[in-house]
Amino acid sequence: MSNTTASRASSTLDESNISASDLAKHVQSLTNRIDDLEQEVVEKDEQIESLQQDVETDFGGEN
């Protein structure tokens, strides 16, 4: 499987004048989004654990 995303990204960068500042802002935006998604995962994991405990309490731990 080839990585066309990287080649498309580099060709896009070659074709346009993207400043380092704009690129840094974009990277920061992506980093912030990743942080948000990681927090959502933590919250979902906590919800799953809580629901599992509820099920174990209601059904005596049987699966």
Residue 46 has pLDDT above 60, yes or no: yes
Measured CA angle at 60 (ends 57, 63), to 5 deg: 105
End-to-end CA distance of the chain: 40
Question: What are the distances in angstroms from CA 21 to CA 11, 27, 28?
Answer: 19, 10, 10
Output the pLDDT for position 14.
Answer: 59
> In this predicted model, which residue has the larger pLDDT, 10 or 52?
52
Mean pLDDT score, 49-59? 93
Residue 4 has pLDDT above 60, yes or no: no
Output the pLDDT for position 40.
Answer: 99
Full-model pTM: 0.59
pLDDT band at residue 18 using 50, 70 and 90 as cut-offs: confident
